[in-house]
Amino acid sequence: MLIYLVRRILWAILVVFVVLFITFLVFFKLPNGDPALRFAGKTPTPAMLDEIHHRLHLDKPWYIEFGYFVKTFATGDQYGWPGLGYSYNSFASVKSQIVYRAPRTLWLIAGAATLWLTFGVAIGVLSAVKRRTLVDRLAMGFALFGISAPVFWLGLIALYIFWRTLHWTAGTGYTPIAQGPGQWFSHMILPWVVLSMLYTAIYARMTRNNLLETLGEDYIRTARAKGLSERRVIFRHGLRASLTPIVTLFGLDVALLVGGAIITESVFNLQGLGWMAINSATQQDLPIVLGVVLCTATAVAFMNLVVDIVYAFLDPRVRYS
Amino acid sequence: MKRTTRRLATALLVVAVGAVVLVAAGSGSRAKSQVSAGGTYKVGWEQSFGFTDNMDPVGEYLAEGFAIQTSLLDRTLVGYNHVPGAAGNKIVPDIATAVPTPTNGGKTYTFHIKQGVKFGPPVNRQVTSADFLNEMKRLASPKDGQEYGFYYNVIKGFASGKGKTISGISTPNASTIVFNLTQPTGDFLYRMSMGATSPQPAEVTKCFEGQAGKYGNDLISTGPYMIQGIDKVDISDCSKITAAPGYDGTSKMILVRNPNYDPKTDSTAARQNFPDEFDFLIDANKDDIYSKVAAGEFQDEISSPPGQVLEKYYTSHSPLLKQYSGDRTWYLTMNLTAPPFDDVHVRKAFNFIMNKNALVQAWGGPAIGKVAHHIVPDTLFNNQLAEYNPFATPGDKGSLSKAKAAMKGSKYDTKGNGTCSASACHNVYLLADTRGQDLKMVPVIEADAKKIGITFKVHSINGAYPTLQTPSKNVPIGERPGWGKDYADPLTFFTPLFDGRNIIPNGNTNYSLVGITPAQCKTLKVKGNCTNVPSVNSQLDKCSVLIGQPRLTCYENLDKYLTGTVVPWVPYLWSTATHIIAPNVTQWSFDQFSGSTGYAHVAVK
Amino acid sequence: MSSFSGSGTPLLDVRNLSVRFNTRDGVVQAVSDLSYTLRRGETLGVVGESGSGKSVTSLAIMGLLNRAHADVAGEIMFEGTDLLKLSKEELRTVRGRDISMIFQDPFACLHPMYRVGSQIAEAVRAHEDVSKSVAQARALELLDAVGIPNAKSRARDYPHQFSGGMRQRAMIAMALVHNPDVLIADEPTTALDVTVQAQILELIDKVKKEFDIGVVLITHDLGVVAETATHVLVMYAGRAMEYGPAHEIFNAAQHPYTWGLLESMPTVEKRLDMLVPIEGSPPSLLRPPPGCPFHPRCKYRFEPCDKKRPPLQSIPDGHPDACFLSPERKREIWKDRIGAELGLTV
């Protein structure tokens, strides 16, 4: 088990390194022209360009440039750790911007992920157990709806009904939890539900299919032959074995939302990391885009590691391979 | 008996009328007392501030930035009353005791500073002439982020001193400042009303030298409001300065009352300062902004209303829809060197044939603005040119007969029937952009041009300005451009647009190449017909030194000359500045100078 | 229908069992009119090709058939109760406690993600309300009893860490936690090596004697049955072809199908070219042929065979079989042909 863990950690570090390299190529090397111009924002003055050239070591050979890039990222710069540089468009360090916006994105993901995992799996199990009955068809119909309904449409409808008409929740925007948990919750509940809809649907279908497949396995027959209650057979034996692909998918889904929940963040005016990335891209604020890309990629590598570890706990066969 | 009845009736009538009068007066004064101080004025701002210099006045060129500076944060020597129309464009004293008349043949301006005008916390001291000089030096220094420094090149030694010294500015004492110009400049007072001339304390700005825009996070106020939290910033040492928490550059700007602002140094005609707080909040969702405005969660918005929203307010004649002259002209630009537009007959015929009404419809109809008839919007001329419309057609829909009549005699009218029939009239390159309104305008332009024999090859580019701004690309006609005033002087509509000496290889704004010389054509690689291109350079020089009504008349004549004789444009739209406000706004004013909300006069319940 | 004497009352008395599956292609008659009995101390070897219905019978006994798709008729009497009339919940209490079943592929039959010891402990707690530690102790006890060395440490292993034979031993241990009266073993050795096969069969036999239970041993391999069965039931196309004591089946088989099975069985003595396979393949259970289900492949078929179905009937000095051949003919064929080939004396 220890060897397995060590191997996976090393892999994760390698992945982050490769991501850094590709990002470096894409942002620094591949496009034509002076990288400093791209980093300097909308009003590049010669003094600014000089400073950027110096700070990013743009005049050195590419491997030294890359080396500093990695070193700054790993050990931090004058703005803190990780070292992500400075944005001339926003007049602030990239790290401070990310730190300011990360909590709302993370809360969004945490809430939505809890919802979709609970309800998705529950609906999937219900569907599988009551296969081909009305319950199953309704559940799968809901799944089709959840997958088809665009997030922005769901979001606007939800806002109209629950905020504008019924006044049950607060409208768009974000209140940090420290400033009022009630208000924070009121702002977050609609984005949580709306964002989780699509995933609930996908996970419900996936759970249903996996579980049905698992329930055809021999060890399920053994479990029944032992005289176990049907509930125990479904959950402890059936669901347990079906979880591994779900866990893998979950890790990836969560990681990608770190920089990817753009539509939800826009519709609900949460102004999280994804929204900031898009906004910065259209304003040609390269350092911020670079920062968010790196954060998302690192999140993916990290979540993959977490998934690998959870996988090993779930399926003992993996630990010894 | 009858007399008694009549007396009774009269008495009753008098009482009734009196009661009505009393009620009316009462409700009238009740209405007046509804406008009261207090509350927070919240503005929903779409997507991102878009400031050009992070609200550091030395370089902030965004109109919305101007609106906030002039009403709330940065007082200047002279300023405005922040009201609509011609009254809103009139120069009034702000920090100066009076609006000076220039001496020394129009080359010297002397200002006296009011006592009691102080910097807000944490600087907390009287504004002096040295503070003005400090800001002018920052304005002269390119590395501090300035964007419109060229307006001040008329000050002696401004350009050459490179921000270290300005020989033309002298400060004989702490409350007097004198500007010496290289030549008489009729609009100099307007130039001194711009935010970049507002006084800034050197003890704070020195910490941000060379870091364009950073000072905006710690802007020291001279106005009735200040950035929330600026009073807690430690300015004792440059290393101790942190950004004021109330403005984070990307999601919010919170302004609270400046305790050092003394209303006695100001006038209520200019600033009434009703709300206790101003919140400018970024909102990622345009529809959400208008929902919140309708619900009263925002009081105002900085965005552009979606079609249906605008339609709803417009057709119901809602008083919450505020529309004023935007002081902006949208036009089709014709290149005076490129066939067939190098022939003035063709240009005139084009003006006659265009259905300008349809073009305005393509923008969204009368809610968006009205048809333009000449170059400069009427408000800048105090409506003195309101009747001038040299290419008038019934309903502004264009007239084939008039167009044909104008075309006659053109070298391209080879058939002599008033249509452009030479080969140069076919497949002419038309540069278009890809916004909604551009996509709708192109078919109209094509259809109308065809009537006089001109056919186009349309090139659609997302973001067409850079192409249009490059003379070497030889674009014969472009449908994209619009131009708005920098301040209320027609100069800002002529110098950048029609001065032949200002034509540059990139970022050129004289798209029509008025006044270009054959030598310039060679260096700029312009391939068209460069002989005898009309020029207005001498007229521009003549007008710029005048002041008062003669200046206006001079520019009016220049507008007429350009619009009707040189004909570089087909102007078609004077767009309105549109704001939708919330029902709980008890008072609202438009600021004609900035073209946005006059925050100095708003009030919220 | 049981016509031979045995000791004690029957544990399991299957009477006229029929199982029909409703499939999209039609009705599949998996088992038709099957009857047999099982007593304590007996090992009934149920032999047949795949599709003969041998497994389905056991699943019907255990109540593991999906009642939505299968029509089960007849009676399955277990200690006086008809299992087919019990509710799902009542059946659940019988399964694993009174009747246990082990299956062919022990690797697939154990949950890969739980430790072996805890899976056995789980079986304990399925029918008895005891603490986890008590259940764990019982699990260890049984692992030991089935011959797994180092039971305590092996119990903490996962199935993939056990060898094939050990896994099957563990399955047997799991089947025995509640001292069931009947153990059904469905092809328990098919997936194992030959040497391990013998060990497992030996273990099952030992368990039967030690715990005094009845065993149903399902297999397609007559050789397996030869070692440990006390009685043999030969099934073909869902029907009983021959049913009798093991020594009679092996020394005086009566049915042509059984003869074919015996002839095709490889032993150490026979050379490969002496193996005689049964020609043809099992019939479709959707559209069974008229008459005797075996007749299309039978070397000895004659006139009545494709017209009427031969009933399962006993012959004098013999045991029940389902064949129209006369008893004399049967004995004759056995003596002259089959018995001689097999080197057996009658």
Question: Per mean pLDDT, which range of B9-18, B99-108, B563-572 is the poorest?
Answer: B9-18
pLDDT tens for A16-70 read 889 888 888 888 888 777 788 778 765 566 677 788 888 888 888 888 888 888 8
Q: Mean pLDDT throughout B293-306?
A: 90
Q: Mean pLDDT throughout B289-299?
A: 93
Most confident by average pLDDT, B249-253, B262-266, C318-322: B262-266
Taking the Cβ of residue C56 and every Cβ of chain A, the question of whether any pair is shorter than 8 Å is answered with no
Q: Taking the C-alpha atoms of C175, C177, C180 and C183 in order, what is their torsion angle to the nearest 10 degrees?
A: 20
B1: pLDDT strictly greater than 60: no
Length of chain B: 605
Q: What is the ipTM of this complex?
A: 0.83
What is the spatial distance between Cα C163 and Cα C148, in angstroms, rounded to a whole number?
Answer: 11
The tokens of A173 are what?
């925007």
The tokens of B130 are what?
């040295």
B24: pLDDT strictly greater than 70: no
User: What average pLDDT does the structure give for chain C?
Assistant: 86
More confident residue, C275 or A28: A28
Q: Mean pLDDT throughout C280-295?
A: 82
Q: Which chain A residue has its CA at the smallest distance from B49's CA?
A: A90
- What is the nearest CA distance from B503 to chain A, expressed in angstroms? 21
A84: pLDDT strictly greater than 90: no
Domain end (from A75, A106, A127): A75
Same domain (yes/no): A65, A98: no
A185: pLDDT strictly greater than 50: yes
Taking the Cβ of residue B195 and every Cβ of chain A, the question of whether any pair is shorter than 8 Å is answered with no
C114: pLDDT strictly greater than 80: yes
Q: Which chain A residue has its CA at the smallest distance from C92's CA?
A: A227
What is the spatial distance between Cα B570 and Cα B357, in angstroms, rounded to a whole number?
Answer: 13
**Type and span of the H or E element at B180:** strand B176-180
Q: What is the predicted pLDDT for the residue at B253? A: 96
Tally of domains within chain A: 2
pLDDT tens for B31-65 read 444 788 999 999 999 877 878 788 999 888 888 99
What is the spatial distance between Cα B50 and Cα B63, in angstroms, rounded to a whole number?
Answer: 10
Confidence at B13, pLDDT banded by 50, 70, 90: low
Q: Mean pLDDT throughout C155-183?
A: 90
Same domain (yes/no): A229, A302: yes
User: Within a domain: residue A3?
Assistant: no
Confidence at B6, pLDDT banded by 50, 70, 90: low
What is the spatial distance between Cα A23 and Cα A294, in angstroms, rounded to a whole number?
Answer: 8
Q: Three-class SS of residue C30? A: strand
CB-based contact C93 A227, cutoff 8 Å? yes
pLDDT tens for B436-468 read 788 889 999 999 999 999 999 999 876 677 778
Q: Taking the C-alpha atoms of C65, C70, C73 and C79 in order, what is their torsion angle to the nearest 10 degrees?
A: 10
Q: Mean pLDDT throughout A194-207?
A: 92
C168: pLDDT strictly greater than 50: yes
Mutate to test the interface with B, among A51, A89, A91, A292 (most CBs of B within 10 A): A91
Question: Per mean pLDDT, which range of A125-139, C166-180, C208-222, C331-345 is the poorest?
Answer: C331-345
Which residues does residue B456 pair with via DSSP β-bridges, in sequence order?
B428
Which residues does residue B178 pair with via DSSP β-bridges, in sequence order?
B110, B170
First to last CA, chain A: 10
Q: Which residue in the set B59, B145, B285 is minimally distant from A172, CB to CB?
A: B285
Q: Mean pLDDT throughout C200-206?
A: 90
Backbone angles phi, psi at B320, to 5 degrees: -85, -5
Q: Which chain C residue has its CA at the smallest distance from A131's CA?
A: C68
Which residues does residue B597 pair with via DSSP β-bridges, in sequence order?
B590
Q: What is the predicted pLDDT for the residue at C343? A: 65
Of C244, C218, C220, which is closest to residue C232 (Cα–Cα)? C244
Beta strands B176-180; B252-257: pairing state: unpaired
Same domain (yes/no): A279, A180: yes
Q: What is the predicted pLDDT for the residue at B579? A: 93
Backbone dihedral region for residue B153 (phi beyond 0: left; psi -120 to 50: alpha; all else: beta): alpha
- What is the nearest CA distance from A225 to chain C, expressed in angstroms? 6
Could you give the C-alpha distances from A196 to A115, A158, A203, B340, B355, in angstroms and in order?
A: 6, 13, 10, 60, 51
Q: Mean pLDDT throughout B7-34?
A: 52
Same domain (yes/no): A314, A198: yes
User: Within a domain: residue A7?
Assistant: no
Q: Mean pLDDT throughout B184-193?
A: 91
Q: Are A101 and A270 in contact (CB under 8 A)?
A: no
The model's pTM is 0.76
Most confident by average pLDDT, A233-247, B268-282, C134-148, C281-295: B268-282
Cα A233–chain centre separation: 33
What is the spatial distance between Cα A134 and Cα A132, in angstroms, rounded to a whole number?
Answer: 7
Concatenated DSSP letters of A147-214 = HHS-HHHHHHHHIIIIIIIS--S--SS---GGG-HHHHHHHHHHHHHHHHHHHHHHHHHHHHHHHHHH
Same domain (yes/no): A247, A275: yes
Could you give the C-alpha distances from A233 to A229, A247, C55, C102, C261, in angstroms and in order?
A: 6, 20, 22, 17, 39
More confident residue, C283 or C184: C184
Q: Which residue in this structure is represented by tokens 């393509």?
A: B362
Could you give the C-alpha distances from A258 to A194, A255, A270, A302, C54, in angstroms and in order?
A: 16, 6, 13, 12, 57
Q: How many helices (H) and strands (E) does chain B have?
A: 17, 21
Give the domain range for residue A46.
15-75
B254: pLDDT strictly greater than 90: yes
Same domain (yes/no): A123, A255: yes
- What is the nearest CA distance from B248 to chain A, expressed in angstroms? 8
The tokens of C81 are what?
């109760």
Question: Per mean pLDDT, which range of A187-191, C64-68, C159-163 is the poorest?
Answer: C64-68
Q: What is the predicted pLDDT for the residue at C268? A: 65
Cα B93–chain centre separation: 20
CB-based contact B284 A265, cutoff 8 Å? yes
Q: What is the predicted pLDDT for the residue at B568? A: 97
Q: Which residue in this structure is represented by tokens 């347990």?
A: A240
- What is the nearest CA distance from A147 to chain C, expressed in angstroms? 32
User: Within a domain: residue A208?
Assistant: yes
What is the spatial distance between Cα B127 and Cα A271, in angstroms, rounded to a whole number?
Answer: 39
B598: pLDDT strictly greater than 60: yes
**Type and span of the H or E element at C121:** helix C116-127
Same domain (yes/no): A237, A121: yes
pLDDT tens for B68-87 read 999 999 999 999 999 998 88
Looking at chain B, the whole-number percentage of residues with pLDDT higher than 90 is 66
User: Within a domain: residue A5?
Assistant: no
CB-based contact B288 A159, cutoff 8 Å? yes
Same domain (yes/no): A143, A269: yes
Q: Are A180 and A186 in contact (CB under 8 A)?
A: no
The answer to whether B and C touch (≥3 CB pairs < 8 Å) is: no
Question: Per mean pLDDT, which range of A70-79, A288-297, C228-237 is the poorest?
Answer: A70-79
Confidence at B141, pLDDT banded by 50, 70, 90: confident
Mutate to test the interface with A, among B46, B211, B285 (most CBs of A within 10 A): B285
Q: What is the predicted pLDDT for the residue at A93? A: 86
Q: Are B74 and B131 in contact (CB under 8 A)?
A: no
Q: What is the predicted pLDDT for the residue at B29? A: 41
CB-based contact C108 A229, cutoff 8 Å? no
Q: What residues contact B391, with CB distance under 8 A and at least 6 apart?
A: B348, B351, B352, B373, B402, B564
Same domain (yes/no): A143, A211: yes
Could you give the C-alpha distances from C165 to C146, C177, C191, C192, in angstroms and in order?
A: 11, 19, 9, 7
Q: What is the predicted pLDDT for the residue at A45? A: 65
**Chain A residues with beta carbon closer than 8 angstroms to that of B213:** 43, 88, 91
Same domain (yes/no): A194, A271: yes
User: What average pLDDT does the structure give for chain B?
Assistant: 89
Q: Three-class SS of residue B433? A: coil
What is the spatial distance between Cα A287 and Cα A77, in angstroms, rounded to a whole number?
Answer: 14
Q: Taking the C-alpha atoms of B49, B52, B57 and B62 in order, what is their torsion angle to the nearest 10 degrees?
A: -70
Q: What is the predicted pLDDT for the residue at B26? A: 41
Q: Three-class SS of residue B507? A: coil
Confidence at B3, pLDDT banded by 50, 70, 90: low
What is the spatial distance between Cα C60 and Cα C18, in angstroms, rounded to a whole number?
Answer: 9
How open is the CA angle B458-B463-B467, to the nearest 5 degrees?
65
Q: Mean pLDDT throughout B175-199?
A: 93
Q: What is the predicted pLDDT for the residue at A125? A: 93
- What is the nearest CA distance from A46 to chain B, expressed in angstroms? 8
The tokens of C310 are what?
């031969």
Confidence at B196, pLDDT banded by 50, 70, 90: very high
**Amino acid residing at B381:** F
Kindly provide the b/e burial profile for residues A57-86, where b requires at least 16 CB atoms within 10 angstroms of the residue's own CB. ebeeeeeebbebbbebbeeebeeeebbbbb
pLDDT tens for C36-78 read 999 999 999 999 888 788 889 999 998 888 877 888 999 999 9
Same domain (yes/no): A254, A308: yes
User: Within a domain: residue A247?
Assistant: yes
More confident residue, B9 or C21: C21
A157: pLDDT strictly greater than 80: yes
Q: Mean pLDDT throughout C240-263?
A: 88
C133: pLDDT strictly greater than 60: yes
The tokens of C7 are what?
């000791």
Same domain (yes/no): A71, A98: no
Q: Which chain B residue has its CA at the smallest distance from A152's CA?
A: B285
B186: pLDDT strictly greater than 90: no
The tokens of B167 are what?
């020989």
Confidence at B18, pLDDT banded by 50, 70, 90: low
Looking at chain A, the whole-number percentage of residues with pLDDT higher than 90 is 33
User: Within a domain: residue A10?
Assistant: no
CB-based contact A219 C109, cutoff 8 Å? yes
Question: Per mean pLDDT, which range of A255-264, C279-288, C319-328 is the poorest?
Answer: C279-288
What is the spatial distance between Cα B250 and Cα A92, in angstroms, rounded to a whole number?
Answer: 9
pLDDT tens for B396-428 read 999 999 999 999 989 999 888 889 999 999 999
Sign of dihedral through CA atoms A14, A19, A20, A25?
A: positive
Q: Mean pLDDT throughout C92-104?
A: 89
Could you give the C-alpha distances from C196 to C169, C192, C206, C209, in angstroms and in order?
A: 10, 6, 15, 20
Taking the Cβ of residue C127 and every Cβ of chain A, the question of whether any pair is shorter than 8 Å is answered with yes
Confidence at C341, pLDDT banded by 50, 70, 90: low
CB-based contact A225 C93, cutoff 8 Å? no
Hey, which bits of chain A come out as E strands? Answer: 86-87, 92-93
Confidence at C117, pLDDT banded by 50, 70, 90: very high
Domain with A189 in it: what CATH number? 1.10.3720.10
- What is the nearest CA distance from A224 to chain B, expressed in angstroms? 55
Backbone dihedral region for residue C79 (phi beyond 0: left; psi -120 to 50: alpha; all else: beta): left
More confident residue, B393 or B20: B393
- Burial (CB < 10 A; 0-12, 13-18, 19+), residue A308, is buried
